[in-house]
Amino acid sequence: MDKFSFVGKSLPRKDAFIKATGRARYAADQDFAGLLYAAAVRCPKPRIKILSISAAKAEKVPGYVTLVTYKDVKGPNKWPLVSSDYPFLPETEARFQGETIALVVAETRKAAVAAARLVEIKYKELPFLDDPLRALEKNAVKLHGDDNVFAKFVIKKGNPDQAIRDAHVVVEEEFSTNYQVHAYLETQGVTAVPEPDGGLTVYSSTQCPFYVLDAVAAAADLGYHKVKVIQTVTGGGFGGKEDVPALVASHASVCALKVGRPVRLIYDRKEDFNSMSKRHPSWSRVAYAADRDGKITACVVKYVLDGGAYATLSPIVLWRGAVHAAGPYRIENIRIEAYAAATNKVPCGAFRGFGQPQICFAQESLVDELAHKLEMDPVRLRLKNILRPGDKTATGQIIGASCGLEKLLETVKKRSNWDRRKAKGLRIKDKGEIARGLGVSVAYYGVGLGAKGRYLDRAGAYVNIYKDATVGVNVGNTEMGQGALTVLSQICAETLNAPYENIKLEEVDTSKVSDSGPTVASRTTLMSGNAIIEAAAPMRDNIFKTAFELLLAKGADGSGPMRAAEGLFSIGEVSVTFAETVKECWNRRMKMGEQGWYVAPRTSYDMGDGQGDAYVTYSYSADVADVEVDLKTGVTKVLKIYAAYDAGRIINPGLAEGQAQGGLLQGMSWALYENLAYKNGIMLNPNFTDYVLATTADKPEYDITFIEKPYAGGPYKAKGIGEVPLIGVAPAVGNAIMNASGARVRTVPLLPEKVWNGLNGKKS
Amino acid sequence: MPHATVVKPANLKALWKLLPSISPKRKYLAGGTDLVTGANTGLNSAETWVDISDLKELRGIKETAAAVIIGAGVKISELEGSRLVGRWLPVLHAAIPHFASPSLRNMATIGGNAANASPCSDGACALCAEKAWVWLELKGKRRKLPLAALFKGPKKTALKKDELIIAFEIPKWKHEGAYLKLGPRSYFGISKVSVAAALEMDGGSVKTASIALASVAPVPLLARKTADYLAGRILNEENARTAAALVKAEVSPITDVRSEAAYRREMAGVLLARALGRIGRRGENL
């Protein structure tokens, strides 16, 4: 094992102090002279033809400044994203309840909100769609193209139909999952400030400042050199601040350019619920076939995502889900068909796991059903079929050496006492009213953007060593609470042998570093980490060489090895500090600022048959959930989750543990409680009273293990940890409910009502 | 934050004097936990909030020979620590941990909880089972109603314009109590169904019973038929089962974003059987 000074240690978070003491400046804390406030006028119905927009009544509100509509958008009225079907502001048709139709700018937020309520939209209601399966039918109302399909992917391998015919056992079931709301503490928010040269500086709560740059430059019709996007301290993202902050920022920017003054736009919780992205609801039909020994011989999947009113990120969310849809198994015969359908509901996009948790729930539930039908232990069935180094995935990709899945599964099996618990049978207490059970799942997660996002999969860094040996680092990936500032500082400190306290990661400023793609896909450690290492490498050479010469000058014996650790260089007893060395480098006029650029290795995926390398590497998880089910009420309590992860080398164990706990709880919350409801295209519960999240009182006990299978291409052999902890939770819980109660629930959330129906012999 | 004018009279007399001079679009502000959140989501548009938190006539928990008197302005967290509540009002005492969250219990008042007239109110449901009466006052004139008669529908009460809840009068009667709530998660949630059971026991038999339920009717519901059935009967499993079957016929739940009607109806029975079982077991241990 390599010895490190900073990597692999639970160093304190760089942003802990400002966040814990309330000093951090979030989007709503940015203040500017002459600041005005914008508020959105929103679509009241699922689909309307806009006949007219009038501010006649709004104008009378004291403090009213102006109304902003599509006519004020300077560039083409198309938000540039994966496919550009979403107008910055609608012209003739609005497509979901809550869509921004216009904005009011006023002297105070109160006036802006009051005036926005008085803006009159004359409209005609249009026929709408609220069901994605209905949207795919031939005679459905057409919202997008001639088939309502935002994207379709196919993955084909072998002959699944033949394999199913020849199988000893076949299982096939339908599954569905509901929305998940990101529930970040900080709602969407931005301030746009006009600059004297006609340009704009935009202060945005975002995961992806370069997406904001794309959108603002397009809406304002400005050169990129005249738009500067600065990420403000971001109060949570989870994917919800991937694409949509760009839309919010474009609105504020159009307002600011129109009035020539800074404009702040902060969403309240209801409008954030109504209009910002969500985890896609899903429907799927999955089939597995197996031979007599439990070898899985085929997997057939049809997977449909409810994309909502505009495509936004649906195509790439769908692609990731499709690639992983057969599960982390070695299966020779595969057919996966995946569709993202248009409906008149909120556009869905990125959410931790990105299209995988939905299909993972389906296929991992069904693998348990397969085990049941084979009369085989579900862990044993998985151990027979999981991916190991050298095996081929559904897309024919050969799994590399960094794959610890077998060990993960063995670990959770052992730690949960799986065999003993299973041998003892069910534990029932309280006069037979409470039953306890275990459920297992495995998952894998392609790290980074993969083949579908390959053109975006690069990242830059600028590392600047000041004369006093402190270090400023600019990267293009953001901190959103996940710990990027800390982990990247550790990587920089390790590479330069600089004291950790000396490193300062700057907030992302799009004018300081080249477009580094989005901060998503568990890619930041890998991409920005490697970019920092590349930037630091030439300076590291100079520093190490200079340190060696300083040591010789101080009388060290040059034949011995130089040790570099903890910010100190030494040979034997003689040592020099990082600061002394840097001072000497500056005296020698060495270059102490460098750019780094990291490009993900090529992927070979073919979009036609879905074969080839989809991602550069994968992280893995295995979960066992230990639950109690109340057999009279159907209420589930998750007592404990045993989880094991392979995310390569762990840079900061404390933060990794935090990511794991957070992912588990967010996954459990989605699995059991979160239930966003629509009726006739209107969202019924856009608030935290009726959109129920897990609280700390629901928190299970965690038993988390990291198995570090080094990934040679990663910074200090790390992969990514952000998303994989969430993915396998729902099926592990669902399988445990089945084990405890005999009720199989195939729709998420696994509400007590559904378990109760299941206990009473009804399907749900 | 919403924007409203706040006026704060010092006592009841000052309140009645003040009212004619202020906007008729007014609401009483006690703990604010319903009023402020409602205003934030645009549910009410009162221009003036009459802050009654200083009215000393609304404060305190007292006892007389025959009753416990709880001022309408008493915070839920005050009930939590009250010796009188602990001694005389076992159902209310058992309900408090289910009431919202500790921070909301520090703000919310029992009078406001009743005035809000939510069918899911844990406080109102428990007080109904305790056979509480409510004292109302309008311009110096007082009247008294059984608490259950205050509720006319979701968010609807028998209160006249400006009429104020002054206090709750709960008769002292020796009884056992239980409060069981089925919410959307372990704690801090609005009930799908709650059951409040108050039983006057005579050895292993029920002498009189008072059963109330939340979230299964347009108002906090007194299950009178179920209570009548239990009176005079031995508290055993068979009678509890019959009571559970009866209560399922008394409730009229709906399907909404919080739960389903059929489930709620069934759970009313499950929770009642459990509540009765809990009281029964307590008796065995005595």
Lowest model confidence (mean pLDDT) among A207-211, B215-219, B246-250, B279-283: B279-283
In a mutational test of the B interface, the residue from A113, A631, A632 whose CB has the highest number of chain B CBs within 10 Å is A632
* Interatomic CA distance for residues A353 and A728, integer angstroms: 10
pLDDT surpassing 80 at residue B284: no
pLDDT band at residue A374, thresholds of 50, 70 and 90? very high
CB contact under 8 A, B267 and A633: yes
Each domain of chain B, given as residue ranges in start order, spans: 5-51, 57-171, 176-285
CA distance A395 to chain B (A): 40
* Interatomic CA distance for residues A295 and B96, integer angstroms: 55
Domain B57-171 has CATH 3.60.21.10: no
* Interatomic CA distance for residues A207 and A637, integer angstroms: 33
pLDDT surpassing 60 at residue B63: yes
Domains defined along chain A, listed by start:
16-22+458-599 (3.30.365.10), 31-127+182-275 (3.90.1170.50), 282-451+606-759 (3.30.365.10)
CB contact under 8 A, A637 and B186: yes
Predicted pLDDT of residue B39 = 84
| Beta carbons within 8 Å of A536's beta carbon, 6+ residues apart | A463, A492, A495, A496, A594, A596
CA distance B187 to chain A (A): 7
Predicted pLDDT of residue B3 = 72
Chain B CB contacts of A434 below 8 Å = none
| Beta carbons within 8 Å of B66's beta carbon, 6+ residues apart | B171, B172
Predicted pLDDT of residue B42 = 72
* Residue A453, helix vs strand vs coil: helix
* Interatomic CA distance for residues B198 and B211, integer angstroms: 6
Q: Is A25 on the interface with B (CB under 8 A)?
A: no
Predicted pLDDT of residue A2 = 67
CA distance A743 to chain B (A): 16
Predicted pLDDT of residue B109 = 98
Chain A CB contacts of B258 below 8 Å = 690
* B contact residues 163-182, partner A, Cβ 8 Å cutoff: 182
The CATH architecture to which B176-285 belongs is: 2-Layer Sandwich (3.30)
Q: What average pLDDT does this structure show over B118-134?
A: 97
Could you give the ipTM of this predicted complex? Answer: 0.95
Across chain B, mean pLDDT equals 95
Q: What average pLDDT does this structure show over A344-353?
A: 98
Give per-residue pLDDT as tens, A679-700. 999 999 999 999 999 999 999 9
Chain A CB contacts of B186 below 8 Å = 637, 695, 697-698
Q: In chain B, how long is the greatest CA-to-CA distance?
A: 61
Q: Which residues pair with B8 in a beta bridge?
A: none
Q: Which DSSP symbol is given to A742?
A: S
Same fold, B57-171 and B176-285: no
pTM given for the model: 0.97
pLDDT surpassing 90 at residue A635: yes
Predicted pLDDT of residue A764 = 65
CB contact under 8 A, A695 and B270: no
Give per-residue pLDDT as tens, A688-740. 999 999 999 999 999 999 999 999 999 999 999 999 999 999 999 999 999 99
* A contact residues 666-725, partner B, Cβ 8 Å cutoff: 672-673, 675, 677, 684-685, 687, 689-690, 692, 694-695, 697-698
* Interatomic CA distance for residues A568 and A55, integer angstroms: 67
Give per-residue pLDDT as tens, A570-608. 999 999 999 999 999 999 999 999 999 999 998 899 999
| Beta carbons within 8 Å of B262's beta carbon, 6+ residues apart | none
Whole-number percent of chain A with pLDDT over 70: 99
DSSP codes, chain B: ----EEE--SSHHHHHHHGGGS-SSEEEESS-TTHHHHHHTTS---SEEEE-TT-GGG--EEE-SSEEEEETT-BHHHHHT-HHHHHH-HHHHHHGGGSS-HHHHHH-BHHHHHHTT-TT-HHHHHHHHTT-EEEEEETTEEEEEEHHHHEEETTEESPPTT-EEEEEEEE----EEEEEEE-SSSSSS--SEEEEEEEEEETTEEEEEEEEEESSSSS-EE-HHHHHHHTTSB-SHHHHHHHHHHHHHH-----SSS--HHHHHHHHHHHHHHHHHHHHHHHHH-
pLDDT band at residue B286, thresholds of 50, 70 and 90? very low
Across chain A, mean pLDDT equals 96
Give per-residue pLDDT as tens, A391-420. 999 999 999 999 999 999 999 999 999 999
pLDDT band at residue B285, thresholds of 50, 70 and 90? low
Q: Is A559 on the interface with B (CB under 8 A)?
A: no
Predicted pLDDT of residue A422 = 84
Q: What average pLDDT does this structure show over A124-136?
A: 98
Q: Which DSSP symbol is given to A352?
A: T
CB contact under 8 A, A692 and B184: yes
pLDDT surpassing 50 at residue A1: no
| Beta carbons within 8 Å of A193's beta carbon, 6+ residues apart | A32, A200, A201, A202, A203, A256, A262
Cis peptide before A561 (omega within 30 of 0): no
